[in-house]
Structure 1
Amino acid sequence: MAKKTWAYAKNEQDEFIQDKNDPSRFRTFYIWEVLKLKNTLPEDYKKISFYSTQANPSNRSRMAPVKNGFFRYIENMKGGNNSEGDNETISHSTALLVLSELKNIKFIIKDKTYLLNFSKFIIEQRLQFENGNVYFPDLIGYFSSECDLAEKWNGKVVIEIAVKHKCTSQKIRDFLEYGLPIIEVSISDKIWFSKEFNGKVYDANDVENYYNFLKKLFNNRVYGHIRSNPTSSDYYEKQLLIKDKIIDDNQQKFNEFQELCKLKLTEAIKRYDNVRNSLDNIKLTNQQLQQALSKSQENENALKKRIEEIKSMSFWEKIKQIFRPCK
């Protein structure tokens, strides 16, 4: 038996009651509120009838509150039944409710964090694919702001809540082929509605407390897994443009670097030529100095030789040298 913790309602005019704070939504009737209304204001309670919350009105079925703390279907369910069985639990129903009320969800997926902003959720919308398979995804969330995943996933994402039953491989293949991404939110045994799974008696107060527990938890963060990860053609084109721009920027940087290298090389060659010319001039000057030094040494040696010759002369020979006529 499917157990829903919330419902829509019709008034005496057979019209679905709108949310006063958000006219784009129907009012959410929580099970604990309905049971209190039934006990305290029975006349007002009799004026409304309760329905399931599928997106398509034709799939909605009459529901009745149960004192244990959930709504049950009065007649056969027309849509939204999950053959995997999780939607028959309080844990599944309450998690779906809490997530549908959030405008911003901080998803923790593996080692990455995604802050996703949503404008609206569609609940249990009927989807039939070309292969004939029919699904009622828990939530289809529509992004309210641009982000990488919003562009990649064409503005929407399916959120499936898994208590004990994860998405089947066939379901993942169908959604991927159809271009619909799936984030699967696992409700582990640590955050189950334990009284239900342990077979203990519970009531609407217990369900309300569980709702508040999940709301506080999910307001902080939601752990999930991406099961279907398609990429829209627009996203491919945008990524291609980004890659092309990166290539162009890198090519421009390479050309600028190449020109800078050429300039540096030209300057280096010029400095090398200047140094080489300076070195040649130094070598020439050194050769000239060497030649002048050699000439000076020759003159010095000749002078020393002459001095020795004069020293070896007698007095009269020295006199003769002094008065020897100049040639």
Structure 2
Amino acid sequence: MTPFTPGRLDRSSPFYVAGHGGLVGSALWRKLSAEGFTNTIGRTSKEMDLKDRAAVFAFFAEERPRYVALAAAKVGGILANKTYPVDFLSENIRIQVNVMDAAQEYGVERLLFLGSSCIYPKLAPQPLKEEYLLTGPLEETNDAYAIAKISGIMQVQAMRKQYGLPWISAMPTNLYGPGDNFSAQGSHVLPALIRRLDEARVRGDKSVTNWGTGAPRREFLHVDDLADACLHLLENYDGPQHVNVGVGADMTIKELAGLIAGTIGYEGALRWDATKPDGTPRKLMDVGKLEALGWTARISLQDGIESTYAWYRANRNGLRD
């Protein structure tokens, strides 16, 4: 078999973005459009249920994409993951298996599977290196989702081994940006804080109580940076090992809350409910592998929060509860 050499993707070839309406998928769509891709394909969940195997195979048979970015997933914060572990495990595995099986069946040349930093053990050494995968127990609050994402990495590796396909996986750190989920029940920490503190500002609340101690450290990557990294990987990387995507720096949740409060103009007290779970103590990605491939993040957290808050204010009347 002739070795595969990554290079510039054909801008006119059909490129399917699975999950193009979500946070990551919409950023990928914007990036591809800006880079001159003219045949980008997407289907909303109402148009095609990726859990429906027959529908997915029929779609691939009709559209015959050359490239696929698998960004579709059921996602949520600590509360949602703790409450609905079956949904996060079952739905994500079915989505991944259906899309990758159909992609193999209909000759997809390049596929990028997107996972999450939660795949790493709860107490793994920091920063998180790619080789730490499967070296210890997972964080209990989102282990079902993590197992689903680990299975996606394994399926990519199996496709490479059995069929010789040059497919790859990328594991982004905590993401945020325009199009994020700001719902009270399903959002991640950064959009949750934006909504909670903005609503407190509008009401004139003297204080806001947040989940946990505020001590865990997290890394935050703007979704437009992730989209840029995804295209860079598709054009510059081929290998069985997943690649971390992050900024290489973190902060405490308490520090993040203070940064967001300052950005939106909330002047009340920030309090913390230590009876609520913190999750993993720290999640900082080692991004040395990605930097060696010639890519680093460009959008600062301050600039990213400002633009995300502006998007939230412009769209908050139409957001899900």
Q: Same fold by TM-score, threshold 0.5 exceeded?
A: no
The normalised TM-score by structure 1 is: 0.23
More relative contact order, 1 or 2 (CA 8 Å, 6+ apart)? 2
